[in-house]
Amino acid sequence: MGAVTEEQEKHDDERPRACPITESQFLSWKRQKDAAASARKAEASRKRAEDIAAGIIQMNGRELFRHEPWVFDNSLY
């Protein structure tokens, strides 16, 4: 069970590899993927900022500190 025989290894070596890509093709794909991920992240950030400004969702502690630092001013007590 789970052991690979010589015949299976030989058969695996004879199997043609899936379309190999060049380094430039990979880098192009990677740039596109990173750009798409960056765009999605920016859009989500923009949407969250709009929702916070409209009061639709709550701010987390970091956002509250950034937008309303007077809440954390202990000199008032």
Give residue-wise pLDDT tens across range 8-25.
Answer: 666 656 666 788 999 999
Distance (Å, whole) CA 12 – CA 6: 10
Distance (Å, whole) CA 45 – CA 22: 35
**pLDDT number for residue 27:** 97
Q: To 5 degrees, how large is the angle CA 27–CA 32–CA 34?
A: 90
Give residue-wise pLDDT tens across range 24-74.
Answer: 999 999 999 999 999 999 999 999 999 988 989 999 988 888 888 888 888
Distance (Å, whole) CA 57 – CA 42: 18
**pLDDT number for residue 3:** 63
